[in-house]
Amino acid sequence: MSPGMGRWTVVRGGARGLVAAMAMTGIRTVTAAVGPHERTPPEAIVEKHAPSVRRLPKRYQEAVTELAHWTYGAAGGAAFGALPRRLRTHPLTGPAYGLAIWAGFEIVIAPVLGVRYAREHGVLWRAVVALDHILYGIVVAGSLAPERPRRPGHRGRLDRLFRGRGLTKGPAKR
């Protein structure tokens, strides 16, 4: 692992990615309610590459599609957590990362998977999707709730909670 990156940084990134993907679902729900229903990237991928999902009742199809999207979001967040600390903490990295995820889908993943999603939508829809991915990047980067820097030798709340129960190193302090 690179300096400034522990396993919890990657796990935290994955959790933020999951939450960010869920936030994107919320935004998509609102925009779909006020505008014409547009097929989302996860819907397009499931429709083309998961025919067994299409045989499920509609509500299960939607659930499987969202779970796939959230899993992808969590993986993207974990990948963000694996970036070097000095890059992760730059204020523009999160939004740029979110846009890069979207551009990567549009330019690489959609054509490779043969998903015509990227060519079906107009400028307004693409702008909303771009903003959606900027939000993803902001959440993944922790910009809405930044972490406080730790003091050298400082143990976190979980370490203090589990110390003395054989789950961390060191004696319990009361």
Within-domain flag for 154: no
Structurally, the chain folds into a number of domains equal to: 1
Q: Of 3-7, 20-24, 47-51, 82-86, where does mean pLDDT reach its minimum?
A: 3-7
Give the pLDDT mean for 59-68: 88
Among the ranges 2-16, 72-86, 103-117, which has the highest mean pLDDT value? Answer: 72-86
| Per-residue model confidence (pLDDT) at position 1 | 47
pLDDT digits (tens, 9 = 90+) for 81-133: 999 989 998 999 999 999 999 889 888 988 888 886 555 667 777 788 888 89
Q: How many CB atoms lie within 10 A of CB 127?
A: 11
Instruction: Please indicate, yes or no, if residue 156 is contained in any of the structural domains.
Output: no
Position 136 in a domain: yes
Query: Residue 151 domain-assigned?
Result: no
Q: Which pLDDT value is given to residue 106?
A: 83
Model confidence over 125-170: pLDDT tens digits? Answer: 778 888 889 999 999 998 776 666 555 555 555 555 556 555 555 5
| 150 C-beta neighbours (distance < 10 Å), count | 9
Kindly state whether residue 111 falls inside one of the protein's structural domains: yes
Contact 12, 145 (CB under 8 A): no
Q: Is the pLDDT of residue 3 over 60?
A: no
Instruction: Report which DSSP code applies to 39.
Output: -
Task: Decide: helix, strand or coil at residue 49.
Answer: helix
14 domain residue, yes or no: yes
36 DSSP assignment: -
Residue 165 falls within a domain, yes or no? no
The reply to whether 166 falls in a domain is no
Nearest to 64 by CA among 85, 80, 42: 42
**What are the residues whose beta carbons fall under 8 Å from the beta carbon of 160, sequence distance 6 or more?**
173
For range 18-45, the mean pLDDT: 75
Q: Using CA atoms in the order 29, 34, 35, 36, what is the torsion angle rounded to 10 degrees?
A: 70
| Residues whose CB is less than 8 angstroms from the CB of residue 76 and which lie 6 or more positions away in sequence, other chains included | 17, 101, 136, 140
| Domain limits for position 135 | 7-146
Judged by DSSP in three states, 48 sits in: helix
Q: How far apart are CA 121 and CA 124, in angstroms?
A: 8
Q: Which residue has the higher pLDDT, 126 or 77?
A: 77
Give yes or no for residue 31 having a pLDDT over 90.
no
The per-residue pLDDT for 160 is 58
